Amino acid sequence: SQTIHQWPATLVQPVGSPLSLECTVEGTSNPNLYWYRQAAGRGLQLLFYSIGIDQISSEVPQNLSASRPQDRQFILSSKKLLLSDSGFYLCAWSVTTDTQYFGPGTRLTVL
């Protein structure tokens, strides 16, 4: 069966510090991978999605970036965090274009 992992689970970072969140998927090959941010009362905001290694689309312009160095690994990064980057970050995967399955999430607080 497929499993998706995210780490860390929680993170507290100062403004201006770098960020690296990691997501890995087990039990499937060539998945579509997604990064979302969830803010209270605002639902899920798609940040990036990837249909293959080094094939990444950005949905929202911001100071975040994503990379996919391996088929089942997706990384979300920032060189300098802003206060507005605080939120709950979710990684998801899919094989078809419809149903997505989510990881446990990373709660990021920028102080």
Shortest separation between residue 90's beta carbon and other proteins, angstroms: 5
User: Are the C-beta atoms of residues 45 and 60 closer than 8 Å to each other?
Assistant: yes
Exposed, middle or buried by CB within 10 Å (0-12, 13-18, 19+), for 83? exposed
Q: Does 32 contact other proteins by CB under 8 A? A: yes
Shortest separation between residue 65's beta carbon and other proteins, angstroms: 20
Q: Does 1 contact other proteins by CB under 8 A? A: no
User: Are the C-beta atoms of residues 91 and 103 closer than 8 Å to each other?
Assistant: yes
Which CB, 6 or 78, lies closer to other proteins? 6
Tell me the C-alpha distance between 100 and 102, whole Å: 7
Among positions 14, 29, 42, 54, the unique one binding other proteins when judged by CB under 8 A: 42
Which CB, 11 or 51, lies closer to other proteins? 51
Among positions 80, 104, 109, 111, the unique one binding other proteins when judged by CB under 8 A: 104
CA 47 vs CA 1, 28, 37, 59, 75: distances in Å: 26, 22, 7, 5, 12
**Nearest 5°: phi and psi at 23?**
-135, 130
Shortest separation between residue 38's beta carbon and other proteins, angstroms: 9
Q: Does 5 contact other proteins by CB under 8 A? A: no
Tell me the C-alpha distance between 52 and 95, whole Å: 11
* Residues within the interface to other proteins (CB under 8 A): 6, 32, 41-44, 46, 49, 51, 88, 90, 92, 97-105, 107
